[in-house]
Structure 1
Amino acid sequence: MKAKHLLALAALSTLIPGAVLAQEVVLKVAHFVPPTAPGHTKFIAPWCDKLASESAGRIKCQIYPAMQLGGTPAQLLSQVRDGVADVVWTLPGYTPGRFPVTEVFELPFMTREQEGSSRALWDFVQKNTLKSEFAGLHPLATWVPGPYTLHLRAAQPKVMADLKDMKIRSSSRLTTRLLSALGASPVGMPVTQMSEALSKGVIEATMLPWEVVPAMKVHELTKFSAEFGGDHTLTTTTMVFVMNKKKYDSLPADLKKVIDANSGRETSAWVSGQLKSADAASRAATLKNGNTIYQIPAEETAKWKKTASTVNDEWVKEMSAKGVDGNKLLAEANALVDHYADKK
């Protein structure tokens, strides 16, 4: 009986156009922050909503925030490569050594206005690291967040010497080198471990963009926040939103078009802009909490920049040891950042 029904439906589908349902896809989207964080509410959820709308409901997301698929943030790249997740948002800095060329954008005083620098990062990746560092992955967006601010439990450093031996959380390999060059004692850890480390005094400070502060309760665990002026940011981390390449390749052409329309240079800038919109609110929440926000003077920042140049030199030497022209890549990254910054 069941077979007869199936044959009848098959026959009917040949007579009635559209009777066969178009393919539907469910994407498992994983990331590392809580569902209250701007990265979830202003980026991941709206992006999934856009896919659903533009595909007439044929693309749906199952979102797994805060590592709900298991594992640690450092394992997100493996999860998407292995198909445990279809799409992930993560930081290359959580897997040191796997993105040595892409991390040029994490060098001290490299990036400028974040949306322009995010466009620059996308172009750089497409030209230089797509086939190597992103093998097995289909990039959807690459971006940099807002300027990293130094958030401190009790101390209020105003000159570089005040950082000596201070235990400061670092989010990437190059941020670790920067903090070491400035005299601090960097402690590498993902953002998921940061709040507990602050509350227990394991670290005395953390480097973090404003938009993450309330979701991780950093403003409740610190008293001071030091900002750095100037056109270039003291430091930042690259962020990537990537899809399992086999999953992307398996999609029908019309659904690939929907994904493509929500990927690329402008999507990278859009993500950065979505997170940027949370910066002011997060900063205001910090002030409302009674914290002190202050600026490191330009003349003092210039001293930090001069000292930090050794990090750039070391990166260039590392690239040369790998047979890569580090100076050329550094110049190209700088040119792209300046190019997009001039197109505001």
Structure 2
Amino acid sequence: MDSTTELVDGKTFYDYEIASKGIHAWPVGTTAAYAISFANKTPKSAADLKGMPLRAGSALHTIFLSELGATPVTMPSSASYEALSRGTVEGTILSIGDWRSYSLQDVLTYTITGVAVGHWGSYLAISDTGWTGLSADEQKLWADTAREIALRNAELIEAQDAEVREAAAAKGSTFADLSTISPDLKAAIETASTATWRRWVEQTEAAGHPGLATARLWAKLVEEQGGKLPAGVAAYLEKGA
């Protein structure tokens, strides 16, 4: 949201996504990376995921699960507990820290970590009318406080992610890093990750939005923070959609 990089027509991400809606906004702490979790299932190969009903919470999840050969089932997280308990779905994509909100630590038994299947990000906003009605001192107080709370919230989210993981592990839930699973399953997940970037860019561009420029910006920020891109993504973004 702070980036000065122009995405399209001289507009930054903030200009394009926020200011154009007639609002002022500040980031709220984003969740940790979404992981792939299962209820009473421990996939050992890519074939084990074929047709498996897995909960998807966004269009990006649907793309990813489709590329894996699984069957995406779109539903809100609030419906996941019952669906997992009944076997309507056999797994979900969600950040581990969010399990506590839906008691999913009681039903999820195996999780593949080390692959980021998106994040949940949001923002705090006030209308332009409301903003201009504040004095300069009030605007500064609002902006400074929003920034402070965002960073504090991010720290709490990170702490909760670790706490929930530890508590779930103590109850018998297993967490397997991508680097430790079977080569076949690992390759399938990595290939699906790369394809998800490509399909997201292409469908966003097709909808008339700067998908490629946005993906390039996100990739740059990921690498600046020490993250790694799926194999082939950097070359794809450099070449263009």
Taking structure 2 as the reference length, the TM-score comes to: 0.77
For 1:253-272, what aligned pairs fall within 5 Å after superposition?
A: 253-264=136-147, 268-272=150-154
Among 117, 129, 133, the alignment partner of 2:13 is: 129
State the number of aligned residues: 217
Instruction: Write the deviation string for residues 144-178 of structure 1: whole angstroms up to 9, x where unpaired.
Output: 32122222111111332221111111121111110
Instruction: Write the deviation string for residues 38-89 of structure 1: whole angstroms up to 9, x where unpaired.
Output: xxxxxxxxxxxxxxxxxxxxxxxxxxxxxxxxxxxxxxxxxxxxxxxxxxxx
Among 61, 68, 72, the alignment partner of 1:175 is: 61
Structure 1 gap ranges (5+)? 1-120
Aligned AA (2:158): K
After superposition, the Cα gap between the structure-2 partners of 1:314 and 1:247, relative to the gap in structure 1 and judged at 3 Å, is: same
What is the rounded CA distance, in whole Å, between the counterparts of 2:17 and 2:59 in structure 1? Answer: 16
Instruction: Write the deviation string for residues 243-265 of structure 1: whole angstroms up to 9, x where unpaired.
Output: 2313333333322211110235x
Specify the SS of the correspondent of 1:251: coil
After superposition, the Cα gap between the structure-2 partners of 1:170 and 1:129, relative to the gap in structure 1 and judged at 3 Å, is: same
**Contact residue 122 and residue 143 of structure 1 kept, 8 A:** no
1:226 aligns with 2:109: no
**Contact residue 5 and residue 217 of structure 2 kept, 8 A:** no
Specify the SS of the correspondent of 1:150: strand
Identity, % of aligned pairs? 24
Normalized per residue, the structure richer in helix is: 2
**Contact residue 151 and residue 226 of structure 1 kept, 8 A:** yes
1:334 aligns with 2:234: no
Deviation at residue 124 of structure 1 after TM alignment: 7.3
1:252 corresponds to which residue? 135
What is the rounded CA distance, in whole Å, between the counterparts of 1:122 and 1:200 in structure 2? Answer: 44
1:106 corresponds to which residue? none
1:239 corresponds to which residue? 121
1:297 corresponds to which residue? 179
**Contact residue 4 and residue 12 of structure 2 kept, 8 A:** yes
Instruction: Write the deviation string for residues 82-124 of structure 1: whole angstroms up to 9, x where unpaired.
Output: xxxxxxxxxxxxxxxxxxxxxxxxxxxxxxxxxxxxxxx6537
What is the rounded CA distance, in whole Å, between the counterparts of 2:67 and 2:79 in structure 1? Answer: 24
After superposition, the Cα gap between the structure-2 partners of 1:331 and 1:218, relative to the gap in structure 1 and judged at 3 Å, is: same
1:286 corresponds to which residue? 168
Taking structure 1 as the reference length, the TM-score comes to: 0.56
Aligned AA (2:226): A
Among 317, 326, 329, the alignment partner of 2:202 is: 317
What is the rounded CA distance, in whole Å, between the counterparts of 2:25 and 2:189 in structure 1? Answer: 34
Question: What is the aligned-residue RMSD (CA, Å)?
Answer: 2.7
**Higher Rg of the two aligned structures:** 1
Specify the SS of the correspondent of 2:124: strand
Aligned AA (1:331): R
Specify the SS of the correspondent of 2:97: helix
**Contact residue 168 and residue 187 of structure 1 kept, 8 A:** yes
